Structure formats: C-alpha cells, structure tokens
Amino acid sequence: MAAAAGQVIVCKAAVAWEAGKPLVLEDVEVAPPQKMEVRIKILYTSLCHTDVYFWEAKGQNPVFPRILGHEAGGIVESVGEGVTDLAPGDHVLPVFTGECKECAHCKSEESNMCDLLRINTDRGVMLHDAKSRFSISGKPIYHFLGTSTFSEYTVIHVGCVAKINPLAPLDKVCIMSCGFCTGFGATVNVAKPKRGSSVAIFGLGAVGLAAAEGARVSGASRIIGVDINPSRFEQAKKFGVTEFVNPKDHKKPVQEVIAEITDGGVDRSVECTGNVDAMISAFECVHDGWGVAVLVGVPHKEAVFKTHPVNFLNERTLKGTFFGNFKPLSDLPGVVEKYMNKELELEKFITHEVPFSEINKAFDYMLKGESLRCIIRME
Ligand code: NAD
Ligand code: ZN
C-alpha cells in the first residue's frame, strides 16, 4: 500500500454524471492527500437516503459529475502533511460531518456542528485548496459530503475520519458511519425519552429503526411506528416497535390519530422521513406540557415548516439533529465498542448486499422501499 503514497492512484469509482441516471463505474484518478487529508481504501460502503436525494437532485441542488456515498468503512492508505492522529493501516469510518476540536462547537459538550467541518451538501471540493482530488482525464469529478465513498479510494479531511477498533467487522460497522448513529443518537442524545414513556417514530427505514432501537434501550414502553409503506411494519417488530400507524389508513391527520391512542400525545417523537408534512405531524403529535419532537430527515430545499405558534406555547419542544448529536471522532469509536460488546445489534439493519459492479441495484432496492441497508462490497 505504501508504494502509492504521494502518487496518483487510478481506481474504480461509481460516477453520477447526471441527475437520476444510473451511476457508471469509471477509472478515476485519485490525487494524493494534501494538508490535513487522508486517502482511504474503502472496503464496504452502504446507501443512505441522503445519497439518493442528491443523486435525484429533485429537491436538492444539482452538483455533477459527482462521486456520492458517505456511509462506509475502510483502511487508511496514506496521509497528507500535518496528519498525526492517523497512519496507514488504521481502520476508519468516514463521517459526513467533522470535528476540528478547536472551534466553539467542538469545545461545547452540547454541539457537534463544527465550524470548519460541519455538513455541507453543496461543496464538491476539498477545503484546503478548493479543488477536487478526483479526475477523469484531467477533468474534475466533484466530492459529496466530504466523503465520496462510492470509490475504491477516496480523500477525506482528517477531521471527518474516526479511527476504530481494527477488530470491528467493517462490513457491519460501516452503517454506524451514518444511518445507525443518526437514528440511535437522535433518540438517546436528543429526544432522551424517560423509562416507561411513549415514543413515535416517523419513517421506518434504517435511520428510523435505529431511532426505535434507541427508544427500546431507553426503556420506552410504547414505540409507535408511523410509515406509509405497510411492508415496513413486520420488519419493525424486530426493532421493538410495538404499534403501527399508516397515515394512509386514516381520514384525519396522523397527529390526531396518535393523540387519540395515547391520551393526548406521545412523550417523544423522532422524524426520519425527510417529508415536511411528516415533520409537522411529528411535532404536533407530542403531548403538550412536556413533549419533545426531533427532526432528522433531510428536507426538500424549498420546504417550509408551518405550525400554529400556540403548539409551542402549549409547552411542546422541537429540535433537530445531524448525526444524532454524536461527535464523530470523539464518540464513534465508543459506539463501535458497544457493538463489539454485543450491546448493540447491526445485523438486522443489513437486508441486502451487492458487489460494487452492481451498485445501482442498491438504489433500486431503496427506491422500492425494499431495503433497510444494502452493503456494497468494493472487492
Ligand atoms: P429510507 O428511505 O430507508 O426510510 C424512510 C422511510 O420513511 C421509508 O420507510 C418511507 O416509506 C417513510 N416515509 C416517507 N414519507 C413518509 C411520510 N410522509 N410519512 C411516514 N413515513 C414516510 O431512508 P433512511 O436512509 O432511513 O433515511 C431517512 C431520512 O433521514 C432521510 O430523509 C435521510 O436523508 C435522513 N438522514 C438524516 C441524517 C441526519 O444527520 N440528520 C443522516 C442520515 C439520513
Ligand atoms: Zn446518511
């Protein structure tokens, strides 16, 4: 591996040339890592709905050609100038949001919104020199979320790379680099349900089911799953979801249905759909006086959240979170250890697996609502 350090690597990457068109496996040149960057050999990556939104570019700004992907596991191949925390051979999880460890957010116990490395969905270049590290015949291919994991090799800022236990199976813990931690943290770090409380989860994909898992380990007694895809319900029982509501089965708004079955509303709700109407329902379905709703879904760029202010006056709280409020570098290794100690289960989130050459199938499974997580094997 060290042989390529400082040199361009030519490898396969799945390039999104145009919105909504199948990705194309291309030979891509990957430049060596620059100051505070690392080059990583990706071994496994998986598809999150956020990749699909930016590939469709219906409700998001189009940035093409681009290498998508942000949920992955890999091994450091080489490091750039100034990198002391990582070395070739380290097992790592890239994260779409980072930790500079110096800004007010990184110093605050409450925030993971690093000034330097927080999520930026429209930037397609590296921070150091505003250039891309990917090219095909000299023509730049843009980055995505600073991670671009749909490539055999990628270059990432060191502050967005968590070093983990080398014994952790990367084909499982890769889903902790986004989906699992996002949903689980949204519940345990942000919604913080009390033992015996009721929690509604909107959207029962991998993120929502990880949120349900957070409710289960917090000792919630009722976990109400809300989804418009009824095929999710059977699967969700494995994640501790105790009741189901399909908004399509009811004439009245789902928040009213939930208020009726819970005597006034749930104690907590976590929204994991990306649909703004579901976000509003998730807020309005929490109990007045103490209810807390947490938004996780990535909204359409023109979405507007509308609710009557009295819903707040009646002592409901609305919050939002990226990456479940985990600090990616400081907290992720510990979450991986919880899996290693069998305190967390990841296998049940992994419903499909495909070789890299069939990456487009992962998009089909997600668009049809068939998959939770589809692992893409790079070799
Ligand atoms: P997914 O497609 O696997 O799951 C989404 C689920 O929501 C599906 O089961 C779908 O049927 C359901 N749904 C859609 N519209 C609905 C509605 N109006 N009412 C009820 N259910 C509805 O997606 P995922 O990978 O689990 O991601 C979920 C959301 O979380 C996406 O919006 C994604 O972009 C977002 N996300 C946010 C963060 C973050 O840090 N905030 C990180 C990762 C993903
Ligand atoms: Zn994601």
Q: How many structural domains does the chain have?
A: 2
Residue 244 within any structural domain of the chain: yes
State residue 1's pLDDT score.
45
Nearest Cα neighbor of 217 from 338, 48, 340 is 338
Regarding whether 371 and 265 lie in a shared domain, the answer is no
Q: Which domain holds residue 215?
A: 193-324
The H or E element spanning position 170 is: helix 170-173
Regarding whether 320 and 281 lie in a shared domain, the answer is yes
- pTM score over 0.85: yes
Asked if 132 contacts 59 with a C-beta cutoff of 8 angstroms, the reply is: no
Regarding whether 270 and 224 lie in a shared domain, the answer is yes
Regarding whether 374 and 300 lie in a shared domain, the answer is no
Residue 300 within any structural domain of the chain: yes
CA dist 162 and 173 (Å) reads 12
> Mind listing the pLDDT tens digit for each residue in 277-291?
999 999 999 999 999
Minimum-distance ligand 1 atom for the alpha carbon of 371: 3
Dist. CA 35 → ligand 1 center (Å): 35
Residue 350 within any structural domain of the chain: yes
CA dist 376 and 379 (Å) reads 9
| Whether 50 is catalytic | yes
> Mind listing the pLDDT tens digit for each residue in 120-177?
999 999 999 999 999 999 999 999 999 999 999 999 999 999 999 999 999 999 999 9
Residue 231 within any structural domain of the chain: yes
Residue 181 within any structural domain of the chain: no
Per-residue pLDDT in tens (0 to 9) along the chain, 379 residues: 446 889 999 999 999 999 999 999 999 999 999 999 999 999 999 999 999 999 999 999 999 999 999 999 999 999 999 999 999 999 999 999 999 999 999 999 999 999 999 999 999 999 999 999 999 999 999 999 999 999 999 999 999 999 999 999 999 999 999 999 999 999 999 999 999 999 999 999 999 999 999 999 999 999 999 999 999 999 999 999 999 999 999 999 999 999 999 999 999 999 999 999 999 999 999 999 999 999 999 999 999 999 999 999 999 999 999 999 999 999 999 999 999 999 999 999 999 999 999 999 999 999 999 999 999 999 8
Structure tokens at 283: 């807020």
Regarding whether 353 and 289 lie in a shared domain, the answer is no
CA dist 154 and 156 (Å) reads 7
Residue 367 within any structural domain of the chain: yes
> Mind listing the pLDDT tens digit for each residue in 216-230?
999 999 999 999 999
Length of the chain equals 379
Pocket lined around ligand 1, Cβ cut-off 6 Å: 48-50, 53, 178-179, 182, 202-208, 226-229, 232, 247, 272-275, 277-278, 296-298, 321-323, 366, 369
Regarding whether 209 and 315 lie in a shared domain, the answer is yes
Residue 197 within any structural domain of the chain: yes
Regarding whether 355 and 307 lie in a shared domain, the answer is no
Catalytic residue (choose from 11, 174, 178, 272): 178
Regarding whether 360 and 273 lie in a shared domain, the answer is no
Query: Where are the alpha helices (H) located in the chain, listed in sequence order?
Result: 49-56, 104-107, 170-173, 179-185, 206-217, 232-236, 254-261, 276-284, 310-313, 328-340, 359-367
Regarding whether 361 and 267 lie in a shared domain, the answer is no
Structure tokens at 289: 């006086």
